A and B are shown apart, each in its own frame.
Chain A
Amino acid sequence: MAEFYSEKIAKSPRIDLLKADLFKEMPQIEADRAVLLTKSYMDTEGQPITLRRAKAFEYILDNIPITIRDRELIVGSATKRPRSCQVFPEYSFEWLESEFDTLATRTADPFYISEDTKKTLHEVYKYWKGKTTSELATAYMTPETLMAIKHNMFTPGNYFYNGIGHVTVNYAEVLAIGFSGIIEKVEKEMATMRVTDANYCKKNVFLQSVLISLKAAIRYAERYSALAKELAAKEGDAARRAELEKIAKNCARVPKYGAKDFYEALQSFWFVQMLIQTESSGHSISPGRFDQYMYPYYLISRENGMTREEAQELIDCVWVKLNDLNKCRDAASAEGFAGYSLFQNLIAGGQDEAGNDATNDLSFMTITATENVFLPQPSFSVRVWNGSPHEFLLRAAELTRTGIGFPAYYNDEVIIPALMSRGLTLEEARDYNIIGCVEPQKAGKTDGWHDAAFYNMMRPLEMVFKNGVEDGENVGLSTGDVSSLKTFADFYGAYKKQNDYFISLLVNADNAIDNAHATLCPLPFMSCMVEDCIKRGKSVQEGGAIYNFTGPQGFGIANMTDAMWAVKTLVYEEKKYTLEDFKNADKDNYGKDMDEHAAEKLTLAICKELKKQGKDLTESDIKTTYETVRKNPCSAEKKAFYDEMLKAIDALPKYGNDVKEVDSFARDIAYLYTKEVEKYENPRGGRFQAGLYPVSANVPLGAQTGATPDGRLAFTPIADGVGPMAGRDVKGPTAACNSVSTLDHYIASNGTLFNMKFHPTALAGRHGLENFVALVQGYFDRKGSHMQFNVVSRETLRDAQKHPEKYKGLVVRVAGYSALFTTLSRSLQEDIIRRTEQGSF
């Protein structure tokens, strides 16, 4: 007897048409929100900030242009054009204005911006000078913190420039009682208040603000209802007319009232999802356990005769809408979050609060939706535990095999106790979902501030070699010239001092930003869907949530481990090299030419400077500059010395190969970050908790890091996630899994990220899927927390031919054999690439 309906459900032809419309033009910047917001702010000068936020939200929703796109079943668009974005000057604006002319041509996430929009925004921005969260945050930071940020010791840029986001609100409650239900709750709370209460003033303002926001949201939906009616009247096609009439009905009912059926529930969900992203620019607004809170409505509609195909089409439509939202980040952040990603994490499977398996038919349908729609949103995840249905895991593995990079797999057996160690109850912890990339939390009760900063663990190490001074400025502590570090304990101690120091500055930076958001950008709309804001009478930003965390993420464990191991072995044990040699290697980049990408960037900067000085540059001038910049000036003798040194480093055991001593060392090094971070508190009454993951920032932040003792060359990427450094794991996937699971994943309760690469053929057939699932379960048995898979494409294989050093661990299947791709002959590699192209394996 099949417990689940696990079959794939075919994609409706509508989905490809919706997708084609979504991608027919480049995303644009739209100014409507900024204009309306600014107008409202001008009218409310002097009023309490929460009230001003609510009135601005109301003014925006009442006046922003609305649109229903062709063939849509789920409606509500933040912008007139698909995949475009509004701007949020209350957080920051200067970066956007200074990047107006490069937005459309930049490599990471380009946006078109019209001359008109530029002009409009330019006018709007005049109002905001001195009023943004980023400016206030800067004012709150100490000079040492600002110096550390200037030198890229860590980057809190995400929340510095933008809203916080990173939340899963209580969708279930909105679906059940509607905004009118929440209004009643607020009114009830207000009835208990007396004007003499100590917190009356602020609580009253907050609750009034919630009421204004909710009523505005209801009116906004009603505008869609009216528009749908209007379009229906003009519609010649009877089928579409009926659809529009249904849309009009839906939007008149939800989110005002509780949803009656699946279609209404989806529409209600969507309004909540998009409006949170209109109120603020924070990303990672994560739908969470969609298969759980939607299930009762699915059952009702199925009971009433809705077919599985109809249900699937509606889910697929929501998936498309999740890709209609977009966000423009500053150029540097765009590289760190490359791919226009909004990280709207949606998770299926896992346990319910009582510990029963919670998988249902919708869990399978969310997998199918991800396959049908095949776009980057939602960030799709699955929960895995020892009681997960095997067919669910197999179905998830099938999705992995498509190469889309989803789902990410999460381990209940680690995450639940990890959350309990942070104060959640067992029931709450069992109901966790994931925010953004990998960050677990309990929906509707948590303000996790999950993506609080990128912390590059390699930079304090550089500071040890530089004795705290960089480019003539005092950035770190003075830990003494390296020649004074007589023992490895001295060296390790010096790193710890620098590291602790920069972590303390990171805390200052995060708390400064945190305070700025509480002061200038409380969010009453989002807050009313997070417990216990209504009771406490304050926004999430002011500490209204039950659980409050700040989660800055460290990265570079693999490089730190390999670097420390190299110093320990080669300097202190074998005495083959001195710390001065490593210091010089950093300065000389091991005698190697500069990384191509870094050289290009530097050349561009130099040429720009020369042009500014009025010099005319020819093609050949630029080329000469590039060659000069790139070429390493070291003598042949020195180069030979460094080559030997690199060989010696290369011969050492490395993290990622299941070498016990090295891996235990990595565990200790991770503790240097995780244990130090959790000592601190945030202004919302919560604690700091560490994460270990770089999103995609290991590349741009690696580009700001010099050569390191692990043999990594200057400005090249740092290791991804908690995984081994690319190309240094040569013992296959199980060995890498064992190394990574040696880290303490419980203490990194803000999440760890482990990426693995596979060729699609490694997952071929039923056996391939079974072994893949066993690998995930094995890693989870050993208490790893998260895993995701990059099933590599033909392009990657081509790149592996060009740069075999980066792909030493890439496994491909060759006929009956699996083999390391880079060890195969050129002709066989070509064979495999050809076969991949045909997909005939």
Chain B
Amino acid sequence: MKEYLTVKGRIFDMQRFSVHDGPGIRTIVFLKGCPLRCRWCCNPESQKYDIQEMTLGGKTKTVGRDVTVAEVIDEVEKDRVYYKRSGGGMTLSGGESLMQPEFATALLKAAKERSINTAMESTGFADFSVIERYLQDLDLYLMDIKHIDSEKHKAFTGQPNERILENAKKIAESGTRLIVRTPVIPTFNATKEEISAIAEFASGLKGVTEMHLLPYHRIGMDKYAGLKRDYTLKDLEPPSKELMNELLAVVNSYGLKGQIGG
């Protein structure tokens, strides 16, 4: 077996027939561990690198397992025929794939060697020298840009945004296809002005033509209790359809192809 196939990494889930994170029918590999602590995060079990226990519906399950690249790629291979028919492939998500460079780059390499399309959903929060290693085997970078104001970014995600914005420019320069994705979170960025600032930034990135607005939802709320953590956005209502449409118009006004949802 080729050596890179034996590289181990830590994932917490794999999801087949995923149709919202990259083109076509995809298999998502969720890597464990994230440098950000977004308050709305729908996968709070993804944040810590450590293997954890989470209780949902009265059942306690272990979150996180160590697997080899070969194990993951075998699972990814199973849906090859559907990738071929739909233009789909593999998407790395998390957590943050940039936290496990050896494993994640080996996964991308394994996929590309098998002619499987690759995408990565990522915050871009890492040294560019790390990111660079991913780009050669990556077909699509789905990059989260959550806010232009660094302080507000830090208040809601635990990290400032300068490095993220800088990396976005460099990724765009590199020629890798980049789509900007923005979670729309009321009280954080769900205003025309804030979305406008992000859209303006996105439209200035070389070659970037698409921007996705992902409306806030409460899918992960129960998981916080399952991890014995507080959910600080308890009373937050998802943005209305009307508001989403208004924000979409803002995005489109910058000459970008906007889209609601992935």
A819 to chain B: which residues have CB within 8 Å?
Answer: 219
The answer on a CB contact under 8 Å between A781 and B214 is no
Other-chain contact of B215, A767, A771, A816, A828 (Cβ < 8 Å): A816
Q: Within the assembled complex, what's the spacing in Å between the Cα atoms of A775 and B222?
A: 31
Q: Within the assembled complex, what's the spacing in Å between the Cα atoms of A404 and B146?
A: 41
Measured CB to CB, the closest approach of chain A to B16, in angstroms, equals 5
B188 to chain A: which residues have CB within 8 Å?
Answer: none
Q: Looking at the complex, which of B3-11, B19-27, B148-156 is the stretch in contact with chain A?
A: B19-27
Q: Evaluate whether A818 and B18 lie within 8 angstroms (CB atoms) in the complex, with A770-B86, A771-B25, A828-B219 already known.
A: yes
The answer on a CB contact under 8 Å between A771 and B24 is yes
The answer on a CB contact under 8 Å between A774 and B85 is yes
A733 to chain B: which residues have CB within 8 Å?
Answer: 17
Other-chain contact of B219, A771, A777, A817, A840 (Cβ < 8 Å): A817
C-beta contact mask, B72-102 vs A, less than 8 Å → 1, else 0? 0000001101101110100000000000000
A733-771 contacts to B (CB < 8 Å): 733-735, 737-738, 762, 767-768, 770-771
Q: Is the interface of A mostly helix, strand, loop or mixed?
A: helix
> Does residue B217 face the partner (Cβ distance < 8 Å to A)?
yes
The answer on a CB contact under 8 Å between A771 and B262 is no
Other-chain contact of B82, A734, A818, A824 (Cβ < 8 Å): A734
> Does residue A493 face the partner (Cβ distance < 8 Å to B)?
no
Other-chain contact of A768, B19, B218, B262 (Cβ < 8 Å): B19
B85 to chain A: closest residue by CB: A774
Question: Which of A734, A738, A782 has most chain B Cβ within 10 Å?
Answer: A734
Q: Within the assembled complex, what's the spacing in Å between the Cα atoms of A738 and B214?
A: 31
The answer on a CB contact under 8 Å between B219 and A818 is no
Other-chain contact of B261, A738, A762, A816 (Cβ < 8 Å): A816
The answer on a CB contact under 8 Å between B81 and A781 is yes
> Does residue A811 face the partner (Cβ distance < 8 Å to B)?
yes
The answer on a CB contact under 8 Å between A840 and B241 is yes
A732 to chain B: which residues have CB within 8 Å?
Answer: 15-17
The answer on a CB contact under 8 Å between B25 and A738 is no
Q: Within the assembled complex, what's the spacing in Å between the Cα atoms of A825 and B261?
A: 21
> Does residue B249 face the partner (Cβ distance < 8 Å to A)?
no
Interface size on A, residues (CB 8 A): 33
Q: Evaluate whether A817 and B17 lie within 8 angstroms (CB atoms) in the complex, with A734-B78, A734-B82, A774-B25 already known.
A: no
The answer on a CB contact under 8 Å between B81 and A816 is no
Question: Which of B16, B82, B214, B221 has most chain A Cβ within 10 Å?
Answer: B82
B212 to chain A: closest residue by CB: A816
> Does residue A778 face the partner (Cβ distance < 8 Å to B)?
yes
Q: Evaluate whether A735 and B16 lie within 8 angstroms (CB atoms) in the complex, with A781-B81, A825-B222 already known.
A: yes
> Does residue A827 face the partner (Cβ distance < 8 Å to B)?
yes
Interface size on B, residues (CB 8 A): 32
Measured CB to CB, the closest approach of chain A to B95, in angstroms, equals 16
Q: Within the assembled complex, what's the spacing in Å between the Cα atoms of A189 and B241?
A: 72
B82 to chain A: which residues have CB within 8 Å?
Answer: 734, 737, 774-775, 778
The answer on a CB contact under 8 Å between B86 and A738 is no
The answer on a CB contact under 8 Å between B16 and A816 is no
B81 to chain A: which residues have CB within 8 Å?
Answer: 778, 781-782
B17 to chain A: which residues have CB within 8 Å?
Answer: 732-735, 775, 811, 818
> Does residue A731 face the partner (Cβ distance < 8 Å to B)?
yes
A781 to chain B: which residues have CB within 8 Å?
Answer: 81, 84-85
The answer on a CB contact under 8 Å between A815 and B16 is no
A767 to chain B: closest residue by CB: B19
Q: Within the assembled complex, what's the spacing in Å between the Cα atoms of A304 and B150?
A: 71
The answer on a CB contact under 8 Å between A818 and B222 is no
A771 to chain B: closest residue by CB: B19
Q: Within the assembled complex, what's the spacing in Å between the Cα atoms of A733 and B88?
A: 15
The answer on a CB contact under 8 Å between A816 and B25 is no
A777 to chain B: closest residue by CB: B85
Q: Within the assembled complex, what's the spacing in Å between the Cα atoms of A731 and B241?
A: 31
The answer on a CB contact under 8 Å between A774 and B86 is yes
The answer on a CB contact under 8 Å between A818 and B20 is yes
> Does residue B175 face the partner (Cβ distance < 8 Å to A)?
no
A773 to chain B: which residues have CB within 8 Å?
Answer: 85
B75 to chain A: closest residue by CB: A658
A762 to chain B: which residues have CB within 8 Å?
Answer: 19
A733 to chain B: closest residue by CB: B17
A738 to chain B: which residues have CB within 8 Å?
Answer: 78-79
Q: Within the assembled complex, what's the spacing in Å between the Cα atoms of A658 and B75?
A: 10
Question: Which of B20, B57, B84 has most chain A Cβ within 10 Å?
Answer: B20
A768 to chain B: which residues have CB within 8 Å?
Answer: 19
Other-chain contact of A735, B20, B78, B84, B219 (Cβ < 8 Å): B78
Q: Within the assembled complex, what's the spacing in Å between the Cα atoms of A811 and B85?
A: 20
> Does residue B238 face the partner (Cβ distance < 8 Å to A)?
yes
The answer on a CB contact under 8 Å between B20 and A817 is yes
B20 to chain A: which residues have CB within 8 Å?
Answer: 816-818
Measured CB to CB, the closest approach of chain A to B241, in angstroms, equals 7
A823-838 contacts to B (CB < 8 Å): 823-825, 827-828
Q: Within the assembled complex, what's the spacing in Å between the Cα atoms of A675 and B97?
A: 50
Q: Within the assembled complex, what's the spacing in Å between the Cα atoms of A773 and B42?
A: 29
B79 to chain A: closest residue by CB: A734
Q: List 29 A-B contacts (CB under 8 A).
A: A732-B17, A733-B17, A735-B78, A737-B82, A738-B78, A762-B19, A771-B25, A771-B88, A773-B85, A774-B25, A774-B82, A775-B17, A775-B25, A778-B84, A781-B85, A815-B214, A815-B238, A816-B215, A816-B217, A817-B20, A817-B42, A817-B217, A817-B219, A818-B17, A818-B18, A818-B20, A824-B219, A825-B218, A825-B222
A sample of 12 more A-B contacts (CB under 8 A), given A775-B85, A817-B42, is A732-B15, A734-B78, A770-B24, A771-B25, A775-B17, A778-B82, A781-B85, A814-B219, A818-B17, A818-B18, A823-B56, A824-B219
